[in-house]
């Protein structure tokens, strides 16, 4: 009897490829999310450091020009943090979209794998029955030969 062959094997391989491609895209999006998260943390740390430094200078007495420099730098950091927060939110949405895509691709692949397992089980069942039939026929032929 011929061996089992799954007619949709090429489609299954393609589904596996699409799933791995979706996994790579998801990991890239997650890495991008972490980079932006770290960038925002760095800005927050700079703001805290600047606030401490500015507070120390205020106690000592600060001239107006220096105060304006601190103020503009502080404002720039606030703007960067706000922009980073928006970018982080967009990247979070991108991660969710890639996660959904990966889930869809995994479902499609798993469906084909399940179909393959079912067909392989049927094939083994049928081949087992055919093998048993051949063995029974061989036994009957032997018995007939012995009786002749």
pTM for this entry: 0.76
- State pLDDT tens for residues 41-50: 999 999 999 8
Instruction: Band the pLDDT of 148: cuts 50, 70, 90.
Output: low
- 136 vs 131: CA distance, rounded Å: 9
pLDDT over 80 at 122, yes or no? yes
- 15 vs 3: CA distance, rounded Å: 24
CB 25 within 8 A of CB 101: yes
- 82 vs 74: CA distance, rounded Å: 12
- 27 vs 43: CA distance, rounded Å: 24
Quick one: 70 exposed, middle or buried, by C-beta within 10 A (0-12, 13-18, 19+)? middle
Give residue 1's pLDDT.
Answer: 67
Question: Which two structure tokens, joined as six digits, stand for 101?
Answer: 């895509």
Instruction: Band the pLDDT of 107: cuts 50, 70, 90.
Output: very high
- Average pLDDT of 17-33? 97
- 6 vs 74: CA distance, rounded Å: 65
CB 112 within 8 A of CB 8: yes
- 1 vs 128: CA distance, rounded Å: 10
User: What spatial distance separates the first Cα and last Cα of the chain, rounded to whole Å?
Assistant: 31
Residue 108: how many other CB atoms lie within 10 Å:
16
- Average pLDDT of 18-34? 97
């Amino acid at each position: 009897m011929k061996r089992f062959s799954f007619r949709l094997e090429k489609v299954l391989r393609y589904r596996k490829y699409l799933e791995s491609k979706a996994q790579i895209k998801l990991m890239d999006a997650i890495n991008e999310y972490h980079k932006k998260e770290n960038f925002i943390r760095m800005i927050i740390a700079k703001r805290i450091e600047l606030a401490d430094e500015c507070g120390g200078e205020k106690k000592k007495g600060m001239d107006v020009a220096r105060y304006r420099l601190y103020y503009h730098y502080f404002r720039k950091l606030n703007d960067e943090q706000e922009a980073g927060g928006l970018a982080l939110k967009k990247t979070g949405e991108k991660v969710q979209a890639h996660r959904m895509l990966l889930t869809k691709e995994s479902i499609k692949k798993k469906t084909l794998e399940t179909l393959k397992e079912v067909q392989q089980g049927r094939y083994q069942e049928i081949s087992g029955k055919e093998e048993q039939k051949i063995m029974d026929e061989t036994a009957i032929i032997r018995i007939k030969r012995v009786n002749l």
